Amino acid sequence: MAVPDEPRTRHATLSEEILQHDYRYYVLADPLISDAAYDALLRELQDIEAEHPELRTPHSPTQRVGGSITREFPTVAHDIPMLSLANTYDEEEVRDFHRRVTELLGIEQVRYHVELKLDGVALSVRYRDGNFDRAATRGDGTEGDDISANARTIRSLPLRLRTEAPSPAELEVRGEVVMHKSDFAALNREREESGEKLFANPRNSTAGTLKLQDSSVVARRRLHVYMYSLIGSVPEVSTQHASLEFMRHCGLAVNPHTRRCESIDEVIDFWRTWQEKRDALPYEIDGIVVKVDDFRQQEELGNVARSPRWAIAFKFAARQARTVLERIEVQVGRMGTITPVAHLQPVPLSGSTISRATLHNEDFIRELDLRLGDTVIIEKGGDVIPKVTAVVREERPADAPPFSFPTDCPVCGSVLQRPEGEASWFCENLRCPAQIRGRIEHFASRGAMDIEGLGEAVIDALVEQGFIATYADLYALSVHREKLESLERFGSKSVDNLLAGIEQSKSRTLDRVIHSLGIRYVGQTVARILAGHFRSLSALEAAEEDDLVRIDGIGPRIASSVIRFFQNDETRSLVHRLHDAGVTAESDTVVGEDHPFFTNRIFVLTGTLAQMTRDEARAHIERFGGKVTGSVSKKTDVVVAGDAAGSKLDKAQRLGITIIDEDSFLAQLPESPQQENA
């Protein structure tokens, strides 16, 4: 049934009115009406939509808050990586940054754009045809979590861009989500009254809030977002300054405290000013961000590793406090690392109360000559992580005893080991209760065996019930099917899915298996190198230290760690059990095989691939001696474009780079069906 003209027109008018009031209140901080008047408008809109539900759209002001959302946040790929910034606390290093920029550009002077470095959580937001489409966290910079339902609740984030500001059909913006100090204090007061654990600082509370499973709770925590980056090309926007102005015109919240600087001295003056004034702000900042203003110059400068050459974070000196060391506790980490933690007399510092601080390792304690009862200086590194930095010797009690580092694991009692050349002690008992859950979580994680359905809660339940004590036990879990189905939150279907996920993990590639074992210092990159060189777990197990250090990319510390892992009877037994269970133990491929299409060429993957994951595509490229990077530049040789390829594809077209689709990519692989049928 068609909606009559009168409610349809009123719905459109109210929606636009509320959108403008949101902009005035949450972005400009200049409301035109009272809260009561605003609430009346919103209630009227809700009433119209209740009577005519067909008028309700995902972008209606009434749709800010949903209910429960999925237990797992979907993973999304960033078309352009969300890079992190190099940072410094030193004025001379900022001047060195300026010198490098001018030398690389071949000019004497550069205009910079400087902004406050908000202490929050990075967010990427995509709009399609002016409407909110998706929001994602930074994640590892290449892939993040889709937190759209939670981001919708942020009132300063418009669900529809202002119509008077024309924008591309697809627009991506990036910014920082923060919790204001007053809201953080109120949240902690509520948690204290209800007996809940307090948050350490606003950034931690922001990160935790964005990962909550109920968006109505997120809405009550009053998060804010300030945009600082425009992704992709927008006509007539060629500088950072212009991009912020464009985002403001779109109705997006942009932090007002920015400046264009004609010299590096102006940049340093801006930093000094805000180091003094930061406490007057309603949110936490930990420095400023310095960016080359001109986009063409940014592109010319490019990136190095995971940071841009054209930007740097100039951070503030950490703030300090004095307190007393009451005791030292040693904790056991997921990989068995023993970390000493200082328990302190509580002291306020940078907006939070500090009662614990890291002491790093035994050598750190000895270098400080730290003793129980000492008066110590603590600070927050980057204003976040509390650490002890000095001892006030003149205030030391006469009977202050030195700290003796334990020789046995405080959890399982095993004798601790400190390998030669290492700063830390380790518990190498894989059955140590402090390590069991962490090692299994790592084994099942997305970058390792990627076992669907095996999250923290499931692992906790399986360990508590005694079904598993090591990751090898997962492959015997099917014998407990009936008992599993009787557990709370475990039904027949969920058990079937879990067992199917475990079974599927047996066919993961050798490099992922090596990464999943939890060998200290062996991450994904090192695992790929080892898999390509040794081609089987048995060959890796039999390797000598000299064999390992001769491999490019494998240093003495990694080599020693691999040797120690396979010298341990318990870990060797686990590896053999994995082999007996049918987990991939060999590879018929060699990283670096010569291939005329791949060898020594640089590839970029963009869009969604239908027949393989990006990790699988990367493995194929690296197997034949190619390299995969996250962004398109003049050095890129080939772009592999899947469905919904975005700005990377546009840039590749502008630069005249070779672009192929997924089928063409597969056709280049020796074992591909396309080649077999040729």
CA–CA separation, 404 and 410 (whole Å) = 13
What is the spatial distance between Cα 412 and Cα 336, in angstroms, rounded to a whole number? 11
How many CB atoms within 10 Å of residue 465? 13
Max alpha carbon distance in the chain (Å)?
Answer: 87
Identify the DSSP state of 129: T
Backbone angles phi, psi at 576, to 5 degrees: -65, -35
Which uninterrupted H or E stretch holds 131? Answer: strand 131-137
Nearest 5°: CA angle at 383, between 381 and 384? Answer: 80
Question: What's the 3-state SS for 256-268?
Answer: CCEEEECCHHHHH
Residue pair 291/311 in contact (Cβ under 8 Å)? The answer is: yes
Contact 305, 286 (CB under 8 A): no
Quote the Cα angle for 448-523-577, to 5°.
Answer: 50
What are residue 485's phi and psi, to 5 degrees? -65, -20
Beta bridge partners of 128: 131, 170
Burial (CB < 10 A; 0-12, 13-18, 19+), residue 90, is exposed
Which amino acid type is present at position 282? Answer: P
Burial (CB count within 10 angstroms: exposed 0-12, middle 13-18, buried 19+), residue 453: middle
Is residue 263 left, alpha or beta, with left meaning phi > 0 and alpha meaning psi from -120 to 50?
Answer: beta
- Among 79, 75, 76, CA closest to 641: 79
**Number of other residues whose CB lies within 10 A of the CB of residue 52:** 16
Q: In Å, what is the CA distance from 164 to each residue of 20, 161, 251?
A: 12, 9, 10
Tokens of 26: 């949450």
3-state DSSP helix/strand/coil percent for the chain, to nearest 5?
A: 40, 20, 40
The DSSP bridge partners found for residue 307 are: 304
Cβ atoms of 480 and 467 within 8 Å: the answer is: yes
H or E element in which residue 391 lies: strand 385-391
3-class DSSP assignment, residue 37 = helix
Task: Determine whether 627 is an active site residue.
Answer: no
622-634 burial, b at 16+ Cβ within 10 Å, e below that, comes to: bbbbbebebbbee
Residues labelled as active-site residues? 117
